Amino acid sequence: MTGSPEPLESRSLKSRLIPMQQKPLLLPASCIADVMDYSRPSGSKEESSWFLGEIDWRGQKLPLISFERINGGRFAEFSATARIAVMHSITGNEQLPFYGMVIQGIPKALDLTVGDVQPAIEADTGSAETFRVIIKEIPAAIPDLEKVEQQLWAMFTDRPRDTASH
């Protein structure tokens, strides 16, 4: 049976379950470039409560965001388990190819099939979420990264920025 496609139900997607202060996020593994120890961001805080400042990563200055705040929730910036997920831009923006997101611990690697992910009964999503799901009995949210990146880019185009490292 060479050449016949594998049934959708048996295909797996390499994913990451991202620990957050509230509900964990479910993302394809390819969205995450790196996970690093938390470091306090530099720069002044903007009018947007979700923009925390900038961090240094591999010689670049990256904006650091709080997903909880951009999603309309609460966020306590500092915790003993805080880390930073360096995210690949999914919108293809060459001016902002990466950004940081505060997370709470090490992402868990998952190989998920269609049957592993069920829609959550609670239909209310946050302003930056696409869906709420249950993964192997764990409630999680699927973020709307395109919306997050659009808001981040809109903020950056409205203010002067040092782009020497981009």
Q: Is the pLDDT of residue 161 over 60?
A: no
Q: Answer yes or no: are the C-beta atoms of 122 and 69 closer than 8 Å.
A: no
With beta carbons less than 8 A apart as the criterion, state whether 73 and 22 touch: yes
Instruction: Please give the pLDDT value at position 47.
Output: 64
Identity at 24, one-letter amino acid code: P
How much is the pLDDT for 103?
96
Whole-number pLDDT of residue 166: 42
Question: pLDDT per residue over 12-34, tens digit each?
Answer: 889 999 999 889 999 999 999 99
Percent of the chain with pLDDT over 70: 84
The domain segmentation of the chain, as residue ranges, is: 14-157
Q: Is CATH 3.40.190.10 correct for 14-157? A: no
Q: How far apart are CA 51 and CA 74, in angstroms?
A: 13
More confident residue, 112 or 74: 112
pLDDT in tens, 86-142: 999 999 888 899 999 999 999 999 999 888 999 898 768 889 999 999 998 999 999
The residue count of the chain comes to 166
Please tell me the least confidently modeled range out of 37-46, 140-149, 153-162. 153-162
Cα 84 off chain centre by: 10
Lowest mean pLDDT among 39-48, 52-61, 69-78: 39-48
Please tell me which of 24-33, 36-45, 152-161 the model is most confident about, judged by mean pLDDT.
24-33
- Model's pTM, two decimal places? 0.85
Share of the chain above pLDDT 90, in %: 58
